[in-house]
Amino acid sequence: MAVTMTRKTEQSRRLQQRAEGMIPGGVNSPVRAFGSVAGDPLFIIRGKGSHIWDADENEYIDYVGSWGPLILGHADSGVLDAILGAACNGTSFGASTPSEADLAELVLSAFPHMQKVRFVNSGTEATMSAIRLARAYTKRKYIIKFEGCYHGHADCLLVKAGSGVATLGIPGSAGVPEEFTQFTLALPFNNLSAVEHAFHKFKHQIACVIVEPVVGNMGCVPAADDYLVGLRLITERERAVLIFDEVMTGFRVAFGGAQELYNIKPDLTTMGKIIGGGLPVGAYGGPADIMDLVAPLGPMYQAGTLSGNPLAMAAGCAMLKQLRDRRAEIYPKIDRLSGELVEGVAAAAKDAGAKLTSNRVGSMFTWFFTPDPVTNWESASKSDTEAFGRFFRGMLDQGIYLPPSQYEAAFLGAVHTREDVQKTIAAAKEAFAAVGR
């Protein structure tokens, strides 16, 4: 094949074998294990800007960006300075520090529908807490989520979840008693009548609807026109809480997330990824009358030893300040470059006779190996994941690092260059030639 396999892998393989003896699968998050694309997972030694280097000194253009957070690229000097500055004063106090309100101010300025925000340590904690809060507020039990949407690994949300669960081809998770998911209704995405039906069937019993306003966790799948508006109208009418899970889309598809992009006001918003500047942070927020139910003001309990950690807050502040100050430059640029990349690769596929459907919203995108439109989990799951795996390996061998799963969105950041994009399109031409054979 045209893709010559010169990439060294000995060191990554050795490190993987060592880790496998001690850590399940050698990884601390399943999709890192390359299970669905075959081959050896990379051990990353360092990153700078849009590039990363593995333990065998291979260099890659990175379109994973730590699964979304690194919109300013690796080792951004502003973010690094903030972390180092904070670390010199101590890493954690378990008491309030000024930087928590600094980050809160930045988040609230970008999300004007939110009046208060609580910081946690991950997106999982953010959605888990938001669901608990929605139940506390409505005094109802049922929740609606959508097939292929991933909201972290809380028990009640591991039902037809996307991301690694979809990648591994499992419906939920062992260890979650069915009683724990009996109040979770998993409905098809982009289908309002399914939502109407559920609200009719469980009248006055549904606490909330949680949705990824642009799905990233079954690959990138945008909401159809009027779908999010429809969810807003139905939840308003039924007095249920609408939760936008913007862990991925917040500060990604626009500075103010998908709610700014589509001009829709959810009740609660969950965040993570970008707001931590590459450190572990999550957040949930909304109007004061709901958020004031959270302890210590209210009866809904939620806490965290390391929540609001000063290093994480400093990293988040440095990240969000840059995004705020450079928003007029950054968001149009990453949208334009992502468009060039996605269309360039799609054109290469067409020339090679590979059947591909491209989905993109701003700098989130996926090439699905299926000829048909991908609008929900049912259509996404028709993708030829074997062909994706061959494409993935072909790209990797040419120094292009894509998410190691058909069902994960790729990301482009402010540091990617036109040269990166041209190189990637050229690599795709080679990779498609190999896929076809």
Ligand X SMILES: *Cc1c(COP(=O)(O)O)cnc(C)c1O
Q: Quick one: which segment of 149-157, 306-314, 341-349, 419-427 binds ligand X (CB under 6 A)? A: 149-157
Bridge-based pairing state of the strands 282-286 and 364-368 = unpaired
Residue of minimal Cβ distance to ligand X: 123
CB 319 within 8 Å of CB 108: no
Which residues are the active-site residues?
A: 150, 245, 273
Instruction: Return the residues of window 177-216 that contact ligand X according to CB under 6 A.
Output: 212, 216
Residue 145 lies near ligand X (rule: CB under 6 A): no
Residue 414 CB contacts under 8 Å (≥ 6 apart), including other chains: 71, 72, 73, 326, 330, 333, 334
Q: Does 124 bind ligand X (CB under 6 A)?
A: yes
Q: Residue from 142, 150, 189, 331 that binds ligand X (CB under 6 A)?
A: 150
Regarding 164 and contact with ligand X (CB under 6 A), the answer is no
Alpha helices in 292-326 (DSSP H): 310-325
Distances (CA, A) of 338 to 50, 210, 253, 335, 420: 13, 27, 12, 5, 11
The encoded tokens of residue 224 equal 């159809």
Applying CB under 6 A, which of residues 99, 217, 269, 405 lies at the interface with ligand X? Answer: 217
Give the C-alpha separation, 211 to 319, whole Å: 25
Instruction: Tell the smallest beta-carbon distance from residue 123 to ligand X (Å).
Output: 2
Q: Are 284 and 129 in contact (CB under 8 A)?
A: yes
Do 341 and 333 meet the contact criterion of CB atoms below 8 Å apart? no
Closer residue to ligand X, CB minimum distance, 66 or 205: 66
| Residue with Cβ nearer ligand X (31 or 234) | 31
Residue 356: DSSP 8-state:
-
Residue 398, phi then psi, degrees to nearest 5: -105, 15
Tokens 């990166």 belong to residue: 420
Q: Does 248 bind ligand X (CB under 6 A)?
A: yes
Total residues in contact with ligand X, by rule CB under 6 A: 15
274 binds ligand X (CB under 6 A): no
Stretch that binds ligand X, among 145-153, 334-342, 379-387, 413-421 (CB under 6 A): 145-153
Q: Give the shortest CB-271-to-ligand X separation in angstroms.
A: 9
Measure the CA–CA gap between 160 and 166, rounded to whole angstroms: 8
Q: What is the rounded distance in angstroms from the CA atom of residue 45 to the CA atom of residue 189?
A: 38
> Which one among 228, 247, 279, 361 touches ligand X, defined by CB under 6 A?
247
Compute the distance between CA of residue 225 and CA of residue 288 in angstroms, rounded to an integer: 30
* In the complex, minimum distance from the CB of residue 245 to ligand X, in angstroms, rounded to a whole number: 4
Q: What's the closest the beta carbon of residue 368 comes to ligand X, in angstroms?
A: 18
Of 122-130, 195-203, 379-387, 421-429, which segment contacts ligand X by CB under 6 A?
122-130
> Is residue 59 classed as helix, strand or coil in its secondary structure?
strand
Pairing of strands 142-146, 282-286: unpaired
Minimum Å distance from CB 6 to ligand X? 34
Binding part of the chain for ligand X, among 89-97, 146-154, 225-233, 380-388 by CB under 6 A, reads 146-154
| Nearest to ligand X of 151, 393 (CB atom) | 151
Q: Which residues bind ligand X (CB under 6 A)?
A: 122-124, 127, 150-152, 212, 216-217, 245, 247-248, 272, 282
